[in-house]
Amino acid sequence: MPHAKLSVDIPDHTWIGDLSTAHPEVVFQVVTSIPGEGTGIGLVRLKTTDPLPLITDIQSRDDVEDLELLWKHDDEALLQIETANPLPLLPVLRAGVPLKMPFDIQDGTATWEVTTSTSRLSSLGDHLDDLGIGFAIEHVREIDASRADQLLTDRQQEVLLAAVDAGYYRAPRESTLGDVAEALDVANATCSDVLHRAEGHIIHWFVEEHVEA
C-alpha cells in the first residue's frame, strides 16, 4: 500500500486559491474538513502577522456562505468556514482517499499526504486531471518498507551503521568521529555532515510519531 506526498495547485477561482495566491506569505492550514459535492465545511488556521484583514477578505467572497471566528491570537486565527465551492477537495471525495490532516496551503499550493491502495491513488490522479487541477507527486513509498529506507538515503544509512558498528554511540564512546571517517575513507567534515543529517531525520520522525501526536 503506497504512501504518497503530492503538491496540488489550488484553482484560482476558489476563495482559498485566490487569497493564498494574493497573500503568498500566509499559511492556510486546513485542520479538518468535510467535503461534499455542493458545499464543504472546514476548520482553517491562518498563520499571518495580522489575520483580521484577511478574515474580512474571506467574508466578502461570494463562495463563502458562512464564517465563524473560533479564536484569535496575535499571529494566528482559527476559522470555521462553509463554502459553496469545495472544488479543491472533490477529487479526494470522489476517489475515496483518506487525506492526512492537517495540511498546509501556501501561495496557491497544497501539500497533501495520503496512504491508500494503488488503484485509489491512481483514481485520485484521474479525478484531479478531470477537474483541471494540476498536481505533482513528490514521492510514493510503500508503507511496508523498512523505516530506515523511508527516512535515510543509502549514504546516510551506510555512515550511520558504520558509526554504530564502531561504537560511536555507546556510552562511553568507543570511537571518535575521526575513527568513523577513517573507516569510511572520507573527510571528518563530510562524515559529520552526513551523520548530522541522518540523526536529524531520525529525531524529527520520532518527535512526529511519538511526541506531537
Amino acid at 153: T
Grid coordinates representing 182 are: 577513517
> For the purposes of burial, counting CB atoms within 10 Å of the CB of 199, is it exposed (0-12), middle (13-18) or buried (19 or more)?
middle
92, 80, 19, 111: CA torsion to nearest 10: -40
Q: Which residues make Cβ contacts (< 8 Å) with residue 188, sequence separation at least 6?
A: 177, 178, 181
Q: Is the pLDDT of residue 205 over 80?
A: no
Q: What is the pTM of this model?
A: 0.66
Rounded CA-CA distance 85/36 in Å is 9
Rounded CA-CA distance 181/74 in Å is 48
Domain boundaries, the chain: 2-142, 147-210
Taking only the tens place, the pLDDT of each residue in 162-203 is 999 999 998 888 999 999 999 999 999 999 999 999 898 888
- Domain 147-210 part of CATH 3.40.50: no
- Hey, CA dihedral for 45, 46, 48, 50, is it positive or negative? negative
Contact 31, 44 (CB under 8 A): yes
- The CA–CA distances, whole Å, from 60 to 45, 56, 70, 126 equal 18, 6, 18, 33
Contact 55, 69 (CB under 8 A): yes
- Hey, CA dihedral for 35, 40, 43, 48, is it positive or negative? positive
Taking only the tens place, the pLDDT of each residue in 89-141 is 999 999 999 899 999 999 999 999 998 888 999 999 999 999 999 999 988 87
Residue 51: name the closest of 28, 33, 82 by CA. Answer: 28
Grid coordinates representing 109 are: 499550493
- More confident position, 75 or 36: 75
Q: What average pLDDT does the chain have?
A: 89
- Helices 51-59 and 15-22, interaxial angle, to 10°? 150
